[in-house]
Amino acid sequence: MWANYEIREINLDNSREVEAVRTFLADFELSFDGVVDYTVAFYQNDQIIATGSLAGEILRNIAVSPKLQGEGLTANVVSHLIQQAGQRGIYHYFIFTKPSAAAMFLALGFKEIARAEPHVVLLESGMGSIESYCREIAKKAEVLPAGPRAALVVNCNPFTLGHKAVITRAAEENQAVIVFVVSEDKSLFPFSVRLRLVEEGLADLKNVLVVPAGKYLVSSATFPGYFTKGAATVAAQTRLDATVFARHIAPALNITKRYVGDEPYCATTNCYNEALAEILPEFGISLAVMPRITSSGQAISASRVRELIRQEQWDSLKELVPETTYQYIISPEAKPIIDKIKSSFSRH
């Protein structure tokens, strides 16, 4: 029925073309926010019969007209998107889909990573896997003492004395600790800088290993809700991210405890902590929620540090961060980042 069709790349700067895709997706309860690199639509008689988008490694917004479902058109959309990804040097792919549609993508060679019923399933395919990621981190963790380990997942935008206090407590209470630094480069402090500041700030803790979080923890693949708001989206994807950690990463690395700081400011992070508290115990992993340490009667936070940078209150800022972080912030190397912070009010 769909043999006679035309494939068109959607001009994401053309409001008429974008609105046509958005209208088509609305019938599938899918939104189209335009935060994608590429969108294709299959047309028949000048009407959209299928569409799909590419956002980095994520294949998203894949939908086929109900009257043509089961005819193999979904496979054509996915194949087209994978071809486009390859032209961009991308050979590993994720798909978010509803649980009811997961079998369709499993039949196309995708593998399920985790699901958060009744909302979403995360699948992957291509070169790379959650198993290979776990093996890579496990190899790095061989330097740590044997036995059960604790873990933290941190963004550290930038690394503060609050972060250090929680990690130090974990290091005192456990034989070894793995600190995963969020790799997604959507924060004002770039990932390379955040990773470096965490490593430098924790250099005195010999039973702590700092590693990149990679694609499977608080990333656009597992947790886009951390970077884009929306209550229902955040609730579903915080549970998905927590499940990925509990089902795959924790057992592979012998992690039996996760530490977080309490969250009085960021609703998304607070929702994440609630998801961890719900899901981790189901997998035999305990959660420790540590109270924030304070300075001048206020909880220390990275957002407060960034606000003090905007106000150029360097003496007050110095009380909130390790010396290594402070020296970086006042260095000439940090000037482009400082200028960006002063002109931005991003929550990350």
Torsion over CA of 188, 189, 194 and 196, rounded to 10 degrees?
Answer: 170
pTM greater than 0.75 (yes/no): yes
pLDDT in tens, 157-183: 999 999 999 999 999 999 999 999 999
Identity of the amino acid at 35 = V
Of 341, 124, 335, the residue nearest 240 (C-alpha): 124
CA-nearest of 247, 273, 278, 254 to 262 is 273
pLDDT class of 225 with cuts at 50, 70, 90: low
Residues 6+ apart with CB under 8 A from 136: none
CATH architecture of 6-128: 3-Layer(aba) Sandwich (3.40)
Please compute, for residue 237, the number of CA atoms within 13 A of its CA located in the half-sphere on the CB side: 23
CA distance 200 to 192: 12
More confident residue, 67 or 348: 67
Contact indicator for 225, 233 with CB cutoff of 8 Å: yes
The C-alpha angle with vertex 47 and arms to 44 and 48, in degrees rounded to 5, equals 90
The highest-level CATH class for domain 131-342 is alpha beta
**pLDDT beyond 80 at 264:** no
| In the chain, domain spans | 6-128, 131-342
Q: How many CB atoms lie within 10 A of CB 157?
A: 26
Asked whether 99 and 239 are in contact (CB, 8 A), the reply is no
Query: Residue 303 has what pLDDT?
Result: 92
Give burial (CB, 10 Å; 0-12/13-18/19+) of 339.
Answer: exposed
pLDDT at 92 over 70: yes
Separation CA 239–CA 145 (nearest Å): 30
Query: Taking 80 as the threshold, does the pLDDT of residue 267 lie above it?
Result: no
What is the residue type of 122?
A: L
| Residue 231 pLDDT grade (very low, low, confident, very high; cuts 50, 70, 90) | low
- Candidate from 166-170, 294-298, 329-333 with smallest mean pLDDT: 294-298
Show the 3-state SS of 246-312: HHHHHHHHCEEEEEEECCCCCHHHHHHHHHHHHHHHHHCCEEEEECCCEECCEECCHHHHHHHHHHC
